[in-house]
Amino acid sequence: MSGHATPGWMRQQERSNLAILKLMVWISLTFGRTPGRIVLHAIALYFTLFAPRARRASRAYLKRVLGRWANWADGYRHVFSFATTIHDRIYLLNERFDLFDIEVFGAEALHEALARQPGAMLMGAHLGSFEVLRAAGRGQAGLKVAMLMYEENARKINATLEAVNPRAVQDIIPLGRMESMLEARDKLESGYLVGMLADRSLGDDATADVPFLGEPAPFPLGPWRLAAMLQRPVFFMTGLYLGGNRYQLHFVPLADFSATRRDERDAAIAAAMQGYADCLTRFCGLVPYNWFNFFDFWQKKKCSET
């Protein structure tokens, strides 16, 4: 099988500019979060007006989750929520945790899993902010987080971090290399939480259709196969933005591959993926403007037989 279409999230050009980002960092850290948020309104207005493809995808998603027509104000609120979580990274990476009210739910189950063996896998999504996990982790002794991500994205993240805070330390394990799984295993053995965003795939990734917001959507199999090989408990994780300076961090148990036999692995992966999609459905319903996949998420990959 060949001719895999490149997924929408990779086709769309990211309109990032490090010079503008550095200016935003300076404004935000010099004058505070409130003046920085004033600039965000202009940025959100620009993207709402001049990013038609993202606006169409936003409207299609919001219509599903809201159960009604998504108007212009809904689209603006969606983009502004996204811009806010990006902006707040500036403060979180510069350890200004005092600016935020972060509630944590489900940490007990996570700590119980870590007490049984070192390390656990976290399956996140482009839902809310993953950065609040690192903020909460610094407030809880021993909660260390490393991220597995595609190599190109890892390079972009590192460039962004340098603009935000050159001293910021972020453990990133690039995917797509022979040693990636070994690095992840070593982190887990050291007691790290190893996180992945499991809602997007590369063009040639194997996927499985799982019901999400009323219709099957293609989710990548790779993160789950990796978790099964690493034989660790897996938790859904999301840092939901609730407006103002409020966030909620949620951990939900999905699977424990340390207790799964090899012949049970496929069924366990399928069950975990459905649990993951169910979590996405639940949390999107609670905070609909936190879903930050601005492309046709339900679009099927097109393949041609050779």
Closest to 290 (Cα-Cα) out of 39, 88, 14: 88
The answer to whether residue 4 is domain-embedded is no
The answer to whether residue 66 is domain-embedded is yes
The answer to whether residue 112 is domain-embedded is yes
Over residues 274-286, the mean pLDDT reads: 98
Residue 70: Cβ-neighbour burial (10 angstroms; 0-12, 13-18, 19+): buried
Residue 300 region by backbone torsions, left for phi larger than 0, else alpha for psi between -120 and 50, else beta: beta
- Which secondary-structure segment (H or E) carries 145? strand 145-150
Distances (CA, A) of 147 to 129, 193, 198: 13, 8, 12
The answer to whether residue 101 is domain-embedded is yes
CA distance linking residue 219 with residue 196, whole number of Å:
13
The answer to whether residue 150 is domain-embedded is yes
Structure tokens at 280: 């996405």
More confident residue, 276 or 174: 276
- What residues make up the domain containing 246? 15-290
Split into its structural domains, the chain has a count of: 1
The answer to whether residue 7 is domain-embedded is no
At 137-188, the pLDDT tens digits run 766 556 788 888 876 665 666 566 666 666 555 677 888 777 888 999 999 9
Please tell me the predicted confidence (pLDDT) of residue 173.
83
At 63-103, the pLDDT tens digits run 999 999 999 999 999 999 998 998 898 888 887 888 999 99
The answer to whether residue 86 is domain-embedded is yes
CA distance linking residue 174 with residue 287, whole number of Å:
30
The answer to whether residue 265 is domain-embedded is yes
* pTM across the whole model: 0.87
Structure tokens at 95: 């350890």
Residue 265 · residue 228 · CB < 8 Å: yes
